Amino acid sequence: MDTVVKIDKLVKKYKELTAVNEFSLEIKKGEIFGLLGPNGSGKSTTIGCILGLLKYDSGNIEVFGKPMKSDSYDSKRKIGVIFQNVAVFDELTVYDNIDYFCGLYIKDKETRKKYVEDAIKFSGLEDFTTFLPKKLSGGLLRRLNIACGIAHKPELIILDEPTVAVDPQSRNSILEGIVRLNREGATIIYTSHYMEEVEQICTRIAIMDTGKNLAIGTTEELKNMIKTGETITVEIKNASDGLIEEFGKLPHVIKTEYADDHLKIHYSKGERNVLHLVDFLKKKDLKFGKIYSELPTLNDVFLEMTGKELRDKA
């Protein structure tokens, strides 16, 4: 498989702050590559370096096998970017904005017209072509931002948190759209701090924190990297400390948490944990309510690797 983007030991500092620290990565053609990390972990900075917008302190970046320069027009032509912040002309309508940005890539009038119409259809903006950006809702504005980035049918599409502050409906249509673009042949780099999204669409994921690449792999691979297996929650009223300690001694149990009559038991990898647990409950003749098991999420992966929650406490 061809390598589309190759980052080798990238270091980028903003004065004293090291935003990206010895970050390495290789993205192959056809992937939907997720860059997952909390706010401030260095995702946008990495994107800026890939695109050749930012100066960086050391490291090496190749895009389509070549370093990015301001006159690497052949590479630039093949890239489409959806920036974190909406980047459009406030004074131009939806159609004009898409047509302008597409025009930076596509000189032929006929082709451009078709491409612009495709982009409008793709982002579901048919009814808003004559609107000015300020008249669009948050979700529609994001879709315009996307349309401006992909109208020229790029081979590599980079999306930097495209779903921030977007209603669930728009979010879904955006995610579906990304998968569709990928199926049509585009390689995708997708950054987000929402693990659900990344889990949902990405074929491979890098977990990033404080500028470092903590882990890289498919969702499955990442989950297998950590100790945590499943988490089983049982509803038990008034459990004593002694009893909880006994739960903690069951096989594969890493730790227990008890609050609001709910006992959370974290397991390492292991088979038939629920069954063993139910046996234990019966043996002890304990009354219990609901019991359910959750598989580890990327949040657990992140938690275990950094000791922090990935979710922003909004």
Partner 1 sequence: MFHLYKYRLKSFLKNREMIIWSMIFPFLLGTFFYAAFHSITEKSEKMDPVKLAVVCDEKGQFAEFIDSMKELKFLDPVFVKDEKEGKKLLGDEEVTGLVICGGSEMKPELDLKVRENGIESTILTSIFDTYLRNYQVITDVAKKNPLLITKTVEELYKDEEFTKNEPLGAKNADPFVTYMFALLSMTCMFSANFGHENTKQIQADQSGVGMRRSISPTSKMAAVFTDLMAALTVEMVIFAALYFYLGKVLGVVMSEEYGKVFLSGFLANLLGTSLGYFIGVILKLPAKTKEAIISAVVLFMNFMSGLMIQNIKYIIEKKAPVINRINPAALITDSFESLGAIDDPHKYVVCTIGVAVWAAVLMILSIIILRRERYDHV
Ligand X SMILES: Nc1ncnc2c1ncn2[C@@H]1O[C@H](COP(=O)(O)OP(=O)(O)O)[C@@H](O)[C@H]1O
Binding site for ligand X (CB under 6 A): 14, 17, 19, 37, 39-45
Residue 292 binding result from partner 1, ligand X, Mg ion, none, given CB thresholds of 5 to 8 Å by partner type = none
Q: Among candidates 159, 149, 153, which has minimal Cα distance to 184?
A: 153
Nearest to Mg ion of 104, 165 (CB atom) = 165
- The amino acid that residue 109 corresponds to is K
Instruction: Rule CB under 5 A: say whether 44 interacts with Mg ion.
Output: yes
CB 85, min distance to partner 1, A: 5
Residue 41 binding result from ligand X, Mg ion, partner 1, none, given CB thresholds of 5 to 8 Å by partner type = ligand X
Q: Tokens 């709910």 identify what position? A: 262
Residue 79 binding result from ligand X, Mg ion, partner 1, none, given CB thresholds of 5 to 8 Å by partner type = partner 1
CB 121, min distance to partner 1, A: 21
Burial annotation 260-280 (CB, 10 A radius, 16+ → b, else e): eeebebbbeeeeebeebbeee
**What is the C-alpha separation between 231 and 255, in angstroms, rounded?**
10
Burial annotation 169-202 (CB, 10 A radius, 16+ → b, else e): ebbebbbebbeebbeeebbbbbbbbbbebbbebb
CB 57, min distance to ligand X, A: 13
CA angle 58, 188, 215 (to 5 degrees): 55
CB 130, min distance to partner 1, A: 13
Nearest to ligand X of 13, 252 (CB atom) = 13
Subset of 82-101 contacting Mg ion (CB under 5 A): 84
Residue 137 binding result from ligand X, partner 1, Mg ion, none, given CB thresholds of 5 to 8 Å by partner type = none
Nearest to partner 1 of 89, 292 (CB atom) = 89
Residues that bind partner 1 (CB under 8 A): 14, 48, 51-55, 69-71, 73-74, 76-77, 79, 81, 83, 85-92, 96, 99-101, 103-105, 107, 109, 132, 148-149
CB 68, min distance to Mg ion, A: 19
Cα four-point dihedral sign 131, 133, 137, 143: positive
Nearest to Mg ion of 34, 229 (CB atom) = 34
Q: Which residues contact 205 (CB under 8 A, 6 or more apart)?
A: 33, 34, 35, 36, 198, 199, 216, 217, 218, 219, 222, 298
- Strand 228-235: give its sheet, edge to edge: 253-259, 262-268, 228-235, 291-294
CB-based burial label for 124 (10 Å; 0-12, 13-18, 19+) = middle
Tell me how far the alpha carbon of residue 107 is from its chain's centroid: 33
Mask: binding to Mg ion, 56-85, rule CB under 5 A, as x and -?
Answer: ----------------------------x-
Residue 229 binding result from Mg ion, partner 1, ligand X, none, given CB thresholds of 5 to 8 Å by partner type = none
Nearest to Mg ion of 160, 230 (CB atom) = 160
Instruction: Rule CB under 5 A: say whether 41 interacts with Mg ion.
Output: no
CA angle 181, 162, 76 (to 5 degrees): 60
CB 80, min distance to partner 1, A: 9
Question: And the tokens for 280?
Answer: 């234990």
Q: What is the largest CA-CA distance in the chain?
A: 78
CB 1, min distance to partner 1, A: 25
Residue ranges in contact with Mg ion by CB under 5 A: 43-44, 84
